[in-house]
Chains A and B, each alone.
Chain A
């Protein structure tokens, strides 16, 4: 097609590029580096290159491919590890521990056979999104093969048996009379949202197993959330925890411009950890994108769109999908770098003026929808993105633009992290707009949820005020009732909100256990208040053997929680009693 005219880092300008389209994929030079046209000017094309351009020369060939950036969709996605362009890193690993420039690898294996079972028969009329058959992709997930968007007609032939993703499994007679083969693999342009029939408001809690989320700042299926925080405050651990335990059917982990060792850690842990509900290996429901910080920056943008496209594809089958992205700030920085090289007029802090709309184009692809096609089904994509604000300063553009888009905001706090209070989600500044939406869901677990939650949050608010006073007058000068508040809020913080990701039992807490735990602390508060009134001091209450038992509730396995915590209640009632002769 054309030739390289200029090379400036990840940006290449091609000449003789007449006929190229914006967003067309091109291959550059003898290594066939993948680039994407992002602008045209007469016969010149501005190309962002997704691979390292070192060693490239002026005059090398630029070949158009006629296609834009697409993702491959079909059986074989689950358990895969991809780079930002959806190249299979496992395939690339077969001959080398290092990634060579220009190395190619399909996302879906072409030689693997999958067992296809039809769900339609010859003569059935089908349209886009209709499920025509299923493949048991893993023990956890049945892959539903759908008629690709844009196709409809009558089934003329349908197969049953073992096929690769590029062999036809059905033949369609189109309305006009033509025939079309359906293979199990579809391709979809990653920047374009996949269609659905209609959208609903989120209403069901997405169980994450993290108490501070499920209980205090719930996430809903189909929701969008951000988790901002300075370095080392726990974004990655939180996202990893979500990807591990969230009770969605498919989880997608996008590592965008972050650490290689972390990726290795995630990958290894998913080969070992089991889904709490089914006991199957977690990687059976997981897809990984590993685009580490030392990889070419341009691919960061692609990685996010590739991830969300795969998420939508599984949503379209009728599944609940969670996508976590660590970190959207690295993506924004990649935009800034390209923008700077294009000499665009920069917005705030050098970010391009379209930062906000680009972020929205990612988050807005979340949602709970009724899928296209039959049988009728709903699916959802929930998105949670990490934000890495420079200097942990939330007033910076990426955090601020994200805040405008998301409905739940889990603010990580450096001071909490430094004190090793994890998850370091600040309970005073975080929020979730889904609280009202999931009320019904929660009341089915426990009618007390709303009140217990409100009491706890109010006490924590009170604690913040009391601490100001303590700083001036010291803890001893407080009235007994305030001392008790501090004792109880400490319990709420340390024995309820704190939750170690590394504790085998506490890493995943079911909603019921969370409810029982907080209810215990509430009841403790009530009983202790009565004791105070009868003349017992907080110093005396503090020595109660009940207190260490409350702090060890975390270590009770989920399935024993109800029985053992209720035992504790019984003991509380008999041992936390007002002084005889005092006011009862």
Chain B
């Protein structure tokens, strides 16, 4: 305890409000970004943060807004620290709000530590490149966009698309090949409907993963300002579990779009110069400071894998929210309205989707030796088929040559047999790859030029088992 924390730093001199900001006189000793309590005339206490301080004024962002604040009776008291989350292993199984208060009726956490919600800054030289395959049991992910521990891989969805069901399936099925290690899930809900939040919690309950999960829930009716803190609390909890308890943590954050809307609202209140479509110019950096908390650290047991979910406004992938996210994350899983209309579940658009860490996590000893080749050949064949499909919508499939019709058929089979799978179906990665090979059987062998000849002899059904 430092000496100056013995003094109470407090002021009553609030000169005006501006949006959700309070402009108060200068408070000696206040720290930049320090947390404050704003006490209203009726005794209610709201939290706030000193976001711009000088010898003349202190500007306070009030969480929960400035309604009922008055300039005479309200007072601001500094807490002496920046926003911190109390942590302990006991947070597992618990539910908190966007300020970190328990909302499950359980007792308060007995903290082992208080962690700054902004997290530490990992030394890039101390990061371990992610390389461990996580089997999700979903072919479109495992086969073509494999997820590895420590990766940040978002889902780009659109309103009405089944991102929640896919994530629920992923949580039910996700396993790492080595199973004895400790696994935990951190769930951060930002401004989502009560029903959606409930859907996730029910799913976790059914999976039996409830006691391995920490949830931070800010629903649509909760204070907008807490949408800014919710993901940070979730990530702080994840970091604690990973770096101090040695657990492998999967963080699901939904919906980043709501987060960005809140960020834009805040920025407007601060009268900052807006950038693209009204979002603040620092949104890239702001999102990066969150997403970058995923990873592995050399010499530490655990890992933080982050899967943010966002809904693309108007299904537009160039909108700043998906765009900036894509610029930060290590790939993206993009859902397609077209596939959804065709009744394909999960409707994953494999062209727009990408996992940049995949190559580290697949291959002999990790998944299977043919994985990379199968992956490339499937893309090439499907791309060709889709291209021809587009042409055939104009000129008719009859006008295509025999070889082209073959590819048309491959594209259909790829969607129906490879991408499509039941919500309850968990495919082993070997099965996923074998589906690929069964599709290749329909093509002339000389067309499989992205696959090594030895692998063709080993895996192509007409040779398999005969070598």
Contact = CB atoms under 8 A, between A and B. Distances in A.
Interface of A: 5-9, 13, 15, 52-59, 81, 89-90, 92-93, 96-99, 230-232, 255, 257, 259-265, 267-268, 290, 292-295, 297, 330, 333, 336-337, 340, 346, 349-350, 388, 390-393, 418-420, 470-477, 502, 539, 542-543, 545, 547-548, 551-552
A90 B125 contact: yes
Interface in B342-395: 351-352, 354, 356-357, 359-360, 372, 376, 379-380, 383, 390-392, 394-395
A165 to B, nearest CB: 21
B320 interface: yes
A231 B299 contact: no
Given A53-B32, A93-B123, A232-B354, 12 more contacts: A8-B54, A59-B28, A89-B126, A99-B122, A231-B326, A260-B124, A264-B124, A292-B288, A293-B292, A474-B399, A476-B399, A477-B395
B446 A15 contact: no
B18 interface: no
B52 interface: yes
Contacts of B400: 474-476
B52 A6 contact: yes
The 4 closest A-B pairs by CB, nearest first: A6-B54, A391-B318, A293-B288, A264-B127
Interface of B: 26, 28-34, 52-56, 82, 118, 120-130, 150-151, 272-276, 281-282, 284-285, 288-289, 292-295, 297-300, 318-320, 323-324, 326-328, 330-332, 351-352, 354, 356-357, 359-360, 372, 376, 379-380, 383, 390-392, 394-395, 399-401, 403-404, 446, 449
A294 B292 contact: yes
Which of the listed residues A231, A255, A475 has the most CB atoms from chain B within 10 Å of its own CB?
Answer: A231
Most chain A CB inside 10 Å of its own CB: which residue of B82, B284, B295:
B284
A255 B403 CA distance: 46
Contact of B126 (A59, A97, A539): A97
Given A7-B52, A58-B26, A391 B123 contact: no
B330 A418 contact: no
Contact of A57 (B30, B52, B293): B30
Contacts of A392: 318
Contacts of A53: 32-33
Contact of A58 (B54, B126, B129, B300): B54
A7 B297 contact: no
B31 A57 contact: yes
A484 to B, nearest CB: 14
A97 B296 CA distance: 11
Given A8-B52, A57-B29, A98-B121, A261 B129 contact: yes
Given A99-B123, A349-B275, A337 B281 contact: yes
B284 A333 contact: yes
Contact of B281 (A294, A340, A391, A548): A340
Contacts of B299: 97
Contact of A292 (B124, B276, B319, B391): B124
A180 B276 CA distance: 55
Contact of B328 (A56, A58, A259): A259
Contacts of B300: 97
A263 B244 CA distance: 24
Nearest to A52: B121
B391 A474 contact: yes
A475 B401 contact: yes
A55 B399 contact: no
Contacts of B380: 420
A392 B323 CA distance: 9
A111 B324 CA distance: 44
Nearest to A420: B379
B151 A261 contact: yes
Given A471-B391, A474-B395, A261 B123 contact: no
B401 A330 contact: no
A11 B31 CA distance: 14
B167 to A, nearest CB: 21
Contacts of B275: 336, 349-350
A144 to B, nearest CB: 28
Contacts of B401: 475-476, 539
A263 B281 contact: no
A474 B352 CA distance: 26
A393 B318 contact: yes
B125 A420 contact: no
B127 A350 contact: no
22 contacts: A52-B121, A53-B32, A54-B33, A55-B31, A57-B53, A89-B124, A98-B121, A259-B292, A263-B124, A293-B284, A293-B285, A294-B121, A294-B285, A333-B281, A340-B272, A388-B327, A390-B318, A390-B324, A391-B318, A418-B352, A474-B400, A476-B400
Contact of A337 (B30, B285, B399): B285
B318 A259 contact: no
